[in-house]
């Protein structure tokens, strides 16, 4: 059985930062989370999920949320499991999986996350991300790896105008500054538009 002898407090490298252009655009570091990268064969997903008492057999590039856990399916044989930093019982769930068919790697310290929201958040993200953000293409609950400028990110749509953006800690400042620049561009565009409307 997996056991945790010591718990190390996780602090976001973006702690204390925020971008507030209410109601158009807001960005803030996500609360501390635990992250597990799960790999198994697609045909084993249903029975592994049943043993772990959670659903792995979800559509590709979609997610499911329940009991404080979120499961994101990123490829036919890969999932990202997210849960609050103080969640209990995750090791027991992973240990319940049949032996030899599941790879589970704790990547909690590798990544951090940013919550991006607001009426203009799609405009902000599309400044540096090539995804099609139409709901028909990227619905609520959708998740995928993509790029933001030159950084690889994992993007998960929480609501029509809210996203969870996973990024490696070493790239988090780079991505944050990109969000700031896009926000300033949006502010400038609004100022120019307001000036023209007032003429």
Radius of gyration in angstroms for the set of CA atoms belonging to the chain, rounded to a whole number? 19
Structure confidence by residue, pLDDT tens digits, 167-199: 999 999 999 999 999 999 887 666 545 555 555
Structure confidence by residue, pLDDT tens digits, 134-165: 999 999 999 999 999 999 999 999 999 999 99
Backbone angles phi, psi at 172, to 5 degrees: -65, -40
What whole-number distance in Å separates Cα of residue 134 and Cα of residue 160? 9
Q: pLDDT value at position 100?
A: 82
With beta carbons less than 8 A apart as the criterion, state whether 118 and 23 touch. Answer: yes
Q: pLDDT value at position 189?
A: 67
pLDDT exceeds 80 at position 60? yes
Q: Which long-range contacts (CB under 8 A, 24 or more apart) does 43-51 make?
A: 44/98, 44/101, 44/102, 47/98, 48/97, 48/98, 48/101, 48/102, 51/96, 51/97, 51/98
Question: Counting Cβ atoms within 10 Å, is residue 114 exposed (0-12), middle (13-18) or buried (19+)?
Answer: buried
Structure confidence by residue, pLDDT tens digits, 19-58: 998 788 999 999 999 999 999 999 999 999 999 988 898 9
Q: pLDDT value at position 192?
A: 45
Q: pLDDT value at position 93?
A: 87
- What's the mean per-residue pLDDT of the chain? 89
Q: pLDDT value at position 199?
A: 54
**What is the pLDDT averaged over residues 77-93?**
89
How much is the pTM? 0.88
Q: What percent of the chain has pLDDT over 70?
A: 89
**What is the pLDDT averaged over residues 82-104?**
87
CATH architecture observed for domain 19-198? 2-Layer Sandwich (3.30)
């Amino acid at each position: 059985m997996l056991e945790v002898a010591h718990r190390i407090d996780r602090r976001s490298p973006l702690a204390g930062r925020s971008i507030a252009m209410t109601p158009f655009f807001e960005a803030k570091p996500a609360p501390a989370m635990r992250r597990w990268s799960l790999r198994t064969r697609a045909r084993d997903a249903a029975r592994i999920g049943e043993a772990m008492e959670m659903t792995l057999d979800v559509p590709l590039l979609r997610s499911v949320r329940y009991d404080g856990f979120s499961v994101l399916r990123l490829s036919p044989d890969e999932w990202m499991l997210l849960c609050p930093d103080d969640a209990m019982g995750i090791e027991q769930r992973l240990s319940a999986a049949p032996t030899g068919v599941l790879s589970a790697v704790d990547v909690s310290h590798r990544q951090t996350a940013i919550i991006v929201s607001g009426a203009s958040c799609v405009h902000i993200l599309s400044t540096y991300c090539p995804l099609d953000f139409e709901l028909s293409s990227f619905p609520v609950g959708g998740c995928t790896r993509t790029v933001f400028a030159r950084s690889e990110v994992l993007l998960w749509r929480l609501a029509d105008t809210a996203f969870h953006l996973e990024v490696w800690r070493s790239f988090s400042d780079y991505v944050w500054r990109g969000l700031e620049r896009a926000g300033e561009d949006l502010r400038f565009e609004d100022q120019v538009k307001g000036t023209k409307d007032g003429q």
